[in-house]
């Protein structure tokens, strides 16, 4: 497989590979069997992904002697719910899969997060394989073992850490993505440059059109993103330190997602992250931590690629600033009531800021609120 790039997530005896390249869904049976010999499988997917990708994966697994159970769910963020989790757990048990068997997540971040959570709790932990079909999932949610579902009170508040045994990032699958979904995933790619890889961000500013077009630049961007995340996960698997840097843009972004009731017609996750990253850089400039020029540079790049970068880019009305602050206070990165943000001293110079005064955040939200 000379056309496949391998990135290792170094977690000792739980280390695993991320394979990045074309046609990996069609090779899934062989690749999974090589790492999990004799494991029976269930595939969890959504209706949209199944229409395009389920057939070659089922054929591949069947050819390897493993006819899988298939569990289909509705597409969309609202699937990350207790109802969907109950269905997946019940269907896995009904298929008589054992602890040594494997649950495969075929889809975007919603399917990956939900499936990983189910695999982590059924029989106290089953094998789990990520087959991400969206750019966002390939560069972010499929790597690192964070799984979960949403609460009406906030995003991803219920879940477990459960590492996959293998990640197969099929770059061919990205050719079928709607343009909006690809752009949303690109926000997470840009994030890695903004955290601590300024040279990568500068490369993206020059090469983003080639990344969008496909080919070697796209594979390179995905591989660089996965290496960046794998390095952080290897240092801090359970987010007690550096791993929190991966949440750049997410505190604001998650609050905006909750404020729009996870309505994907108004705002999808990557778009929330894009606005959140712009807000984080602008907030850092407001606190005199970074230059306003850096915030302007981030906003310009997001605008160039077609991503939203301000709250007024979200269709419809938003709750007031006090309500948005309430969503932020429910965020997982809050510790004993103190607000924690990922802020920055410049491009690629992000850091964890603890005990951020709520009054500063509220004032900033009021200044930037479209109302």
Mind listing the domains of the chain with CATH numbers? 5-177 (3.40.50.1970), 195-368 (1.20.1090.10)
CA distance 222 to 217: 9
Q: What's the sign of the alpha-carbon dihedral 74, 274, 284, 260?
A: negative
Query: Collapsing DSSP states into helix, strand and coil, what is residue 331?
Result: coil
CA distance 142 to 136: 9
Q: What is the pLDDT of residue 2?
A: 73
- Please say whether the beta carbons of 236 and 242 come within 8 A: yes
List, as own/partner pairs, every contact residues 348-351 make where C-beta atoms lie below 8 angstroms and the sequence separation is at least 24, other chains included: 348/193, 348/194, 348/195, 348/196, 348/197, 348/198, 348/199, 348/200, 348/201, 349/196, 349/198, 349/290, 350/194, 350/195, 350/196, 350/245, 350/248, 351/245
Query: Collapsing DSSP states into helix, strand and coil, what is residue 42?
Result: strand
Give the pair of three-digit tokens for residue 277: 């990253």
What is the set of active-site residues?
Answer: 124, 146, 188, 229, 239, 243, 247, 250, 254, 269
Strands (E), 112-230: 127-132, 149-151, 154-158, 166-170
Burial class (CB in 10 A: 0-12, 13-18, 19+), 86: exposed
Distance of alpha carbon 335 from its chain centroid, rounded?
A: 22
- Please say whether the beta carbons of 111 and 57 come within 8 A: no
Going by C-alpha positions, the residue among 168, 201, 147 that lies closest to residue 5 is 168
Q: Provide the Cα torsion 149, 104, 42, 73; round to 10°.
A: 40
Going by C-alpha positions, the residue among 45, 163, 51 that lies closest to residue 111 is 45
Going by C-alpha positions, the residue among 26, 183, 29, 177 that lies closest to residue 107 is 177
> Tell me, what DSSP letter sits at residue 240?
S
pLDDT by residue for the chain (371 residues), tens only, comes to 678 999 999 999 999 999 999 999 999 999 999 999 999 999 999 999 999 999 999 999 999 999 999 999 999 989 999 999 999 999 999 999 999 999 999 999 999 999 999 999 999 999 999 999 999 999 999 999 999 999 988 889 999 999 999 999 999 999 999 999 999 999 999 999 999 999 999 999 999 999 999 989 999 999 999 999 999 999 999 988 999 999 999 999 999 999 999 899 999 999 999 999 999 999 999 999 999 999 999 999 999 999 999 999 999 999 999 999 999 988 755 666 678 999 999 999 999 999 899 999 999 999 999 98
- Please say whether the beta carbons of 178 and 334 come within 8 A: no
Where helices occur in 197-320 by DSSP H, the ranges are: 198-213, 216-235, 250-259, 269-286, 292-305
CA distance 324 to 358: 11
Query: Collapsing DSSP states into helix, strand and coil, what is residue 61?
Result: helix
CA distance 349 to 360: 21
> Tell me, what DSSP letter sits at residue 4?
-
Q: What is the pTM of this model?
A: 0.93
């Amino acid at each position: 497989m000379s056309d496949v790039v391998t990135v290792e997530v170094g977690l000792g005896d739980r280390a695993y590979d991320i394979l990045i390249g074309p046609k990996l869904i069609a090779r899934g049976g062989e690749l999974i069997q090589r790492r999990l010999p004799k494991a029976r499988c269930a595939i969890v997917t959504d209706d949209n992904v199944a229409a395009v990708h389920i057939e070659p994966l089922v054929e591949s697994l069947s050819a390897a002697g493993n006819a899988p159970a298939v569990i289909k769910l509705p597409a969309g963020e609202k699937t990350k719910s207790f109802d969907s989790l109950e269905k997946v757990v019940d269907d896995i048990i009904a298929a008589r899969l054992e602890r040594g068997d494997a649950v495969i997540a075929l889809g975007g971040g919603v399917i990956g997060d939900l499936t990983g959570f189910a695999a982590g709790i059924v029989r106290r932990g089953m094998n789990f394989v990520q087959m991400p079909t969206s750019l966002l999932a390939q560069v972010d949610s499929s790597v690192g073992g964070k799984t979960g579902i949403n609460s009406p009170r906030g995003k991803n508040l219920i879940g477990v850490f459960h590492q996959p045994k293998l990640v197969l990032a099929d770059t061919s699958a990205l050719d079928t993505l709607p343009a909006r979904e690809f752009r949303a995933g690109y926000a997470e790619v840009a994030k890695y440059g903004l955290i601590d890889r300024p040279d990568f961000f500068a490369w993206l500013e020059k090469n983003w059109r080639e990344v969008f077009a496909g080919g070697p630049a796209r594979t390179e961007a995905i591989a660089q993103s996965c290496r960046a995340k794998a390095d952080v996960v290897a240092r801090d698997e359970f987010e007690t330190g550096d791993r929190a840097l991966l949440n750049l843009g997410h505190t604001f972004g998650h609050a905006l997602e909750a404020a729009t009731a996870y309505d994907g017609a108004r705002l999808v996750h990557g778009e929330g992250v894009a606005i959140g990253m712009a807000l984080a850089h602008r907030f850092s400039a407001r606190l005199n931590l970074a230059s306003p020029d850096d915030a302007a540079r981030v906003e310009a790049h997001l605008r160039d690629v077609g991503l939203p970068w301000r709250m007024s880019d979200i269709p419809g009305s938003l709750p007031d600033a006090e309500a948005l602050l309430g969503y932020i206070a429910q965020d997982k990165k809050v510790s004993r009531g103190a607000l924690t943000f990922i802020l920055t001293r410049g491009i690629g110079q992000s850091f964890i800021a603890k005990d951020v005064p709520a009054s500063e955040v509220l004032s900033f939200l009021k200044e930037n609120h479209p109302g």
